[in-house]
Homo-oligomer: A and B are copies of this chain.
Amino acid sequence: MTALHPLVEVAPDRRHAVAVDRSGWPAVWPDGVATPRTVDEVREVVAWAAATGTAVVARGAGSGLAAAAVGVPGAIVLDLSALQRFEIDADEQLARVEPGVITAVLDDAAASHGLMYAPDPGSVGISTVGGNIATNAGGLRGAKYGVTRDHVLAFDVVLADGTLVHVGRDTIKGVTGYDLVGLFTGSEGTLGIVVGATLRLLPRPVRVATAAAYFADIETAARAVTAITRSGARPAVLELLDGPTLGAVDALEGTALRARGEALLIAQTDGFGAFEELSVVADAVAPLATLVETETDAAASARLLLARRQALPALEALGRPLIEDIAVPRGRMADAVREIGRIADEEGVRIFVFGHAGDGNLHPIIVTERGEGVPAAAQRAADRIFALALELGGTITAEHGVGRLKREWAARELGPDVHALQQRLRAVFDPQGILNPGSSL
């Protein structure tokens, strides 16, 4: 490695702090860490990296689940978490943000204007807007409001040679040129470094209403999802939890949810028609459910969502969770969950399933003993789950990303022609291959 740029720190504690994310991928220390305070500093560091052929891994809060923003030997990590300025234009319903802004901080600020930043990944309280953009993060409200891609209008991007460009526009619509905003979203820092974003805000719903419906088995719960889809309702949140996950929540919280059924669906409607829409949801699931609870005040709604919010902490209490992230056509969810159960049995591992049922997005969680490394049986189970997703017409990652974790599987999902096309496209933006070389979308 050539002489480091003055903004690059090499102290072990700094390098150690960016060596892992939350995916369980083994730690890899980068050679240095830069923490720019301004866009000009980002440009300086990237221009230096281009001149010296140094790899650059952009990183936000390190809350990623695909090892997309962790160190690579010889690389520097570009820690964007200090870029935290943002402003809200309430009349235009826009926010202009730097990438290091914590997503929940933005949403809370929007709320003070009666607005909402809709994407709400489970990590909303700790992840950054920049990280959400890099992975095209989804979230609970995705059933109605979509993913990060649906809420980004324009970016300032530092390209691989240090050039700063502005792509997209501050108007809601616009078709001049190719959709580079969409292309950068979800590109895991491989095409450029997003240093500023114009985000769309929406009116905060005037009210929400929530239903919790329990079912005798997961197949019936999956049929209830179809019944909701057919009902004409469009819940903002539609979450599914299987029996083992309910058992884990019971163990953590002292509740008795699993006594009510072997599967739980939580639906939340919002907006002016939230109460009527919830009754449509409740009517649709009632013939299939063992129990349906509905709530129309905010505190009680939050209580019904508790099981979902506590699902991951409950599994973390049992061991080390490997969080998978497949999506399948909604009608294949029951098949997916049944097959995942078979895989768990055959491989002798514990797998819990919850997820965003409105999107067909399941998070099978393989819980292993704590410690370094992924046991062979758990890895085999994960690979079989990916293969299952593709077999059912789905995807190996709905919202967490590819990173280092799913490189081989991504190539398999895309197929050789599309994968080759993507590599050529990547080379247009980064001919030297210095941007996040460990990630292969």
A interface, CB within 8 angstroms of B? 90-93, 114, 135-136, 138, 142, 146-147, 149-150, 159, 163, 165-167, 169-180, 182-183, 185-187, 191, 202-204, 206, 226, 229-234, 269, 271-274, 276-277, 280, 327-331, 356, 358-361, 393-402, 406, 410, 413-415, 417-419, 421-422, 424-426, 428-429, 441
Known contacts A165-B418, A165-B421, A180-B418; can you find 14 more A-B pairs with CB under 8 A? A150-B150, A170-B393, A171-B361, A171-B393, A172-B359, A174-B398, A175-B397, A177-B422, A178-B425, A179-B179, A180-B422, A206-B232, A425-B425, A425-B428
25 A-B contacts, Cβ less than 8 Å apart? A90-B230, A91-B230, A114-B230, A136-B179, A163-B417, A165-B415, A165-B421, A171-B327, A171-B359, A172-B361, A174-B394, A176-B402, A177-B410, A177-B418, A178-B186, A178-B191, A178-B441, A179-B182, A203-B232, A203-B234, A204-B232, A206-B232, A269-B272, A272-B280, A273-B276
State the number of copies, please.
2
Q: What are the nearest 5 A-B pairs in CB distance?
A: A272-B273, A273-B273, A182-B182, A174-B395, A171-B327
Q: Please, how many angstroms separate the alpha-carbon atoms of A135 and B178 in the complex?
A: 10
Separation in Å of the A415 CB from the closest CB of chain B?
8
Q: Please, how many angstroms separate the alpha-carbon atoms of A138 and B175 in the complex?
A: 10
Q: Which residues of B contact A356 (CB under 8 A)?
A: 173
Verify A173–B226 contact, CB threshold 8 A. no
Q: Which residues of B contact A171 (CB under 8 A)?
A: 327-329, 359-361, 393-395, 398
Verify B399–A327 contact, CB threshold 8 A. no
Q: Please, how many angstroms separate the alpha-carbon atoms of A355 and B420 in the complex?
A: 42
- Smallest CB-CB separation from A143: which chain B residue? B172
Verify A327–B173 contact, CB threshold 8 A. yes
| A91 touches which of B330, B393, B406, B417 (Cβ 8 Å) | B330
Q: Please, how many angstroms separate the alpha-carbon atoms of A255 and B217 in the complex?
A: 61
| A183 touches which of B114, B178, B396 (Cβ 8 Å) | B178
Verify B173–A147 contact, CB threshold 8 A. yes
Q: Which of A138, A393, A401, A425 has the most CB of B within 10 A?
A: A425
Verify A421–B414 contact, CB threshold 8 A. no
Separation in Å of the A127 CB from the closest CB of chain B?
15
Q: Which residues of B contact A170 (CB under 8 A)?
A: 329, 393
Q: Which residues of B contact A138 (CB under 8 A)?
A: 173
Separation in Å of the A345 CB from the closest CB of chain B?
26
Verify B173–A178 contact, CB threshold 8 A. no
